C-alpha cells in the first residue's frame, strides 16, 4: 500500500511546530557551491558575517579544501538603513585582494528581508567603478536571490546555475558541444562524467565543475582562487551547443538553466534523473550514444557488465533489506531507483526539500520494481524522520552525516552519501553516478550489512 504524506504542518508537542535537526542546508550555501565551480570565481554573500562562517565550516569539513566566501558583513545599522554601501565596499575589497574573473553575489535571509535590491546595487557599483578611473579590469558580476527561508541548499544551487547561464550565456555559432548540468555531484563524480564524455568523443561544457576547485592537488604555493572550474568563455558558448543534458528528476518542467537555454537559444533539452543505478545510467548513456553517434565505449560496457554480475553475486545479502533514504530530493530519487534494482526495499524516502515533486519522481523510478511503495515525506527534519522510522524497522540508513544520531539510536548502519559528510574522510571522493558509482555504492552497502551481521554474532565468524 502506498502511504504518502506531504511534509508538515504537524505539531510535535502541542501547537508549536519547530525544526529539530534540519534535513537540509541553507539556500545561499548551495549558491556558493555552484559559484565555486566556475573558473576564477569568488562567492560573495550579501549579509552578515556569521552566514559566511557557517557555510565555510560546512563546506571545508566535507571537501577538506580552503573555501573563501566573501561577505558584505552587515551589522545592526544596515538592517535599518540598507546594506548597499557595505556591498559596494565589499566588492571593491574582493577585487583588490583576489583579482577574480567573476564574483557570484548571493543574498541571505537578512538582505532579502530588508529588501535590498541587489541587481540594482550591482549595476550602480559597475557604473561607479567604470567612472572611477581605476585601471583594474572589472570582473563579471552575477547575482542570485537566495533567501534561506525559502527552499533548501539545492534550490540555491540550481538558482545560481540558472543565474550564471542567464547572465553569461550568449547567442553563439552552433557547435557539437553538449552542455551537462549534473546537479550537486561530488568532485569524483564530475571527474568521471568528464571521462565518459571524452570517451564518447563529445566536447562537454559541465556547469558547475567542482572537480578541481573542491578537490585539488597538494601545492607548494597557496592560490587564493583554486585552479579549475567551468571557464567563463565556455558558459558564454553554451547557447551554441547542440544539446543540454540536465540531471535531476524533480527539475523536469521547471524554470531551470536548461529550460532557459532551450527558450532563449533553442538548445535541445534532455532532462533526466541523476544517472544512479543501472536503468537511470542506461538512459544517460543512451543519450550520449545518440548525441555522439557512437556506441558505448567498451570500457564502459564492461563496467556495466561487472555491475550486473555484482548485483547477482550480492543479491543474497541485500534481498528484502529495509532502508530509510533521506537527503536532497534528486539524490533520494536516484538512490531509490538503485535500491529497487538490487532488491532492497526503501521503506521511507524523506527530504528537507519540499517541492511537491518527490512523490511523483519516486513513483516513476520504483513503481514497476518495488512490491510496496515507500512512505514519501517532503519538508521534514530528523525529528520527523526518526518518528517515522521507529515503526518501519529499517535495516539501513542511507544519506549524509546528519543522520548519524538516528543510525546510532536505531543501531543500524549508516551508508554515507551526498553532502555533507562530516564524520568520515573522503566525502569529496565518493562516487555516486554511473555504472562505476553504482558499483561502489553496492559494495559499500553489502559490506555494511556484512559488518553488522558479523558484529552482532555472539560467536563471531570470519567467512561470510
Report how far residue 175's alpha carbon sits from residue 388's, in angstroms, rounded to the nearest whole number.
Answer: 50
Q: Which is nearer to ligand SF4, 54 or 317 (CB)?
A: 54
Least CB distance to ligand SF4 at residue 432 (A): 25
Positions in the binding site for ligand SF4 (CB under 6 A): 26, 28, 47, 51, 54, 108-109, 148
Residue 46 vs 304, nearer CB to ligand SF4: 46
Q: Which is nearer to ligand SF4, 90 or 240 (CB)?
A: 90
Residue ranges in 103-207 assigned as alpha helix (H): 109-114, 118-130, 153-168, 187-199
Q: Which is nearer to ligand SF4, 112 or 246 (CB)?
A: 112
- Return d(Cα 358, Cα 334) in angstroms, integer: 11
> Closest approach of Cβ 29 to ligand SF4, in Å?
7
Q: What minimum distance in Å lies between the beta carbon of 31 and ligand SF4?
A: 10
Q: Closest approach of Cβ 464 to ligand SF4, in Å?
A: 45
Shortest Cβ 54–ligand SF4 spacing (Å): 5
Q: How far is the CB of 50 from ligand SF4 (least distance, A)?
A: 7
- The SS3 assignment for 41 reads strand
The helix or strand, by DSSP H or E, that contains position 355, with its residue range, turns out to be: none
C-alpha cell at 28: 545561499
CB of 194 to ligand SF4, least distance (A): 31
The three grid cell numbers given for residue 135, joined into one nine-digit string? 585601471
For ligand SF4, give the closer residue by CB, 26 or 38: 26
Cell 530519487: give the residue: 333
Which of 28, 182 has the CB closer to ligand SF4? Answer: 28
Helix/strand/coil for 133? coil
Nearer to ligand SF4, 28 or 37 (CB): 28
Count other Cβ atoms within 10 Å, centred on residue 76.
Answer: 8
CA distance 233 to 49: 32
Residue 414 backbone phi and psi in degrees, to 5 = -110, 120
The residue (of 110 and 178) whose beta carbon lies closer to ligand SF4 is: 110
Alpha-carbon distances, residue 108 vs 48, 159, 160, 253 (angstroms): 8, 13, 13, 27
State the minimum distance, in angstroms, from the CB of residue 159 to ligand SF4. 13
Closest CA relative to residue 164, chosen from 32, 27, 330, 355? 32
Cβ pair 162, 34 in contact under 8 A: no
SS3 at position 106: strand
Residue 45 C-beta: closest distance to ligand SF4, Å = 7
**DSSP-assigned letters across all residues of 45-94:** EES-HHHHHHHHHHHHHHH-S----EE----HHHHHH-SHHHHHHHHHHH
| Minimum gap (Å) between residue 47 Cβ and ligand SF4 | 6
Alpha helix (H) residue ranges in 266-399: 277-292, 298-318, 329-342, 358-366, 382-390
- At 78, give phi and psi (nearest 5°): -70, -25
C-alpha span between 208 and 88 (Å, rounded): 26
Name the DSSP class of 20: S
Of 111 and 439, CB closest to ligand SF4: 111
Report the residue number, 153 or 432, with the smaller CB distance to ligand SF4.
153
Residue 151 or 228 having the CB closest to ligand SF4: 151
* DSSP state letters, 387-426: HHHHTT--SEEEE-GGGHHHHHHHT--EEE-SS---SSS-
The DSSP output letter for 374 is P
Minimum CB–partner distance for residue 292 and ligand SF4 (Å): 41
Smallest gap from residue 97 Cβ to ligand SF4 (A): 22
Q: Which is nearer to ligand SF4, 108 or 271 (CB)?
A: 108
The C-alpha cell that represents 462 in the structure block: 570470519
Amino acid at each position: 500500500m502506498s502511504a504518502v504524506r506531504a511534509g508538515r504542518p504537524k505539531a510535535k508537542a502541542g501547537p508549536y511546530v519547530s525544526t529539530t535537526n534540519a534535513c537540509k542546508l541553507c539556500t545561499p550555501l548551495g549558491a556558493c557551491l555552484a559559484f565555486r565551480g566556475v573558473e576564477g570565481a569568488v562567492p560573495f554573500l550579501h549579509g552578515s558575517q556569521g552566514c559566511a562562517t557557517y557555510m565555510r565550516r560546512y563546506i571545508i569539513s566535507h571537501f577538506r579544501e580552503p573555501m573563501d566566501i566573501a561577505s558584505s558583513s552587515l551589522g545592526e545599522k544596515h538592517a535599518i538603513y540598507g546594506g548597499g554601501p557595505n556591498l559596494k565596499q565589499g566588492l571593491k575589497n574582493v577585487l583588490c585582494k583576489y583579482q577574480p574573473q567573476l564574483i557570484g553575489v548571493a543574498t541571505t535571509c537578512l538582505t532579502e528581508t530588508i529588501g535590498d535590491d541587489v541587481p540594482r546595487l550591482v549595476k550602480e557599483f559597475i557604473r561607479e567603478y567604470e567612472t572611477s578611473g581605476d585601471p583594474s579590469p572589472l570582473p563579471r558580476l552575477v547575482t542570485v536571490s537566495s533567501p534561506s527561508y525559502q527552499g533548501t541548499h539545492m534550490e540555491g544551487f540550481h538558482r545560481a546555475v540558472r543565474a550564471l547561464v542567464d547572465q553569461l550565456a550568449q547567442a553563439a555559432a552552433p557547435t557539437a558541444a553538449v552542455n551537462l548540468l549534473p546537479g550537486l555531484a561530488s568532485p569524483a563524480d564530475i571527474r568521471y562524467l568528464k571521462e565518459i564524455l571524452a570517451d564518447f568523443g563529445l566536447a562537454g561544457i559541465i556547469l558547475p565543475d567542482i572537480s578541481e576547485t573542491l578537490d585539488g592537488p597538494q601545492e607548494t604555493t597557496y592560490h587564493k582562487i583554486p585552479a579549475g572550474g567551468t571557464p567563463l568563455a565556455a558558459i558564454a558558448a553554451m547557447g551554441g551547443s547542440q544539446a543540454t543534458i540536465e540531471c535531476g528528476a524533480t527539475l523536469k518542467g521547471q524554470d531551470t538553466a536548461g529550460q532557459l537555454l532551450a527558450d532563449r537559444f533553442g538548445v535541445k533539452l534532455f532532462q533526466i534523473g541523476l544517472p544512479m543505478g543501472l536503468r537511470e545510467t542506461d538512459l544517460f548513456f543512451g543519450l550520449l550514444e545518440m548525441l555522439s553517434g557512437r556506441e558505448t565505449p567498451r570500457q564502459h560496457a564492461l563496467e556495466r557488465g561487472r555491475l550486473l554480475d555484482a548485483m547477482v553475486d550480492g543479491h543474497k545479502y541485500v534481498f528484502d533489506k529495509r532502508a530509510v533514504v533521506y537527503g536532497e530530493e534528486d539524490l533520494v530519487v536516484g538512490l531509490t531507483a538503485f535500491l529497487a534494482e538490487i532488491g532492497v526495499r526503501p521503506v521511507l524516502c524523506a527530504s528537507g526539500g519540499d517541492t511537491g515533486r518527490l512523490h511523483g519522481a519516486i513513483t516513476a523510478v520504483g513503481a514497476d520494481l518495488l512490491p510496496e511503495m515507500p512512505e514519501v515525506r517532503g519538508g521534514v527534519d530528523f525529528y520527523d524522520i526518526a518518528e517515522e522510522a521507529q515503526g518501519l524497522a529499517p535495516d539501513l540508513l542511507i544519506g549524509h552525516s546528519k543522520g548519524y544520531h538516528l543510525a546510532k539510536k536505531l543501531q543500524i548502519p549508516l551508508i554515507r552519501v551526498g553532502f555533507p559528510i562530516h564524520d568520515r574522510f573522503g566525502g569529496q571522493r565518493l562516487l555516486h553516478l554511473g555504472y562505476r558509482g553504482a558499483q561502489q555504492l553496492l559494495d559499500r552497502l553489502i559490506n555494511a550489512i556484512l559488518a553488522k551481521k558479523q558484529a552482532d554474532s555472539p560467536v563471531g565468524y570470519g567467512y561470510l
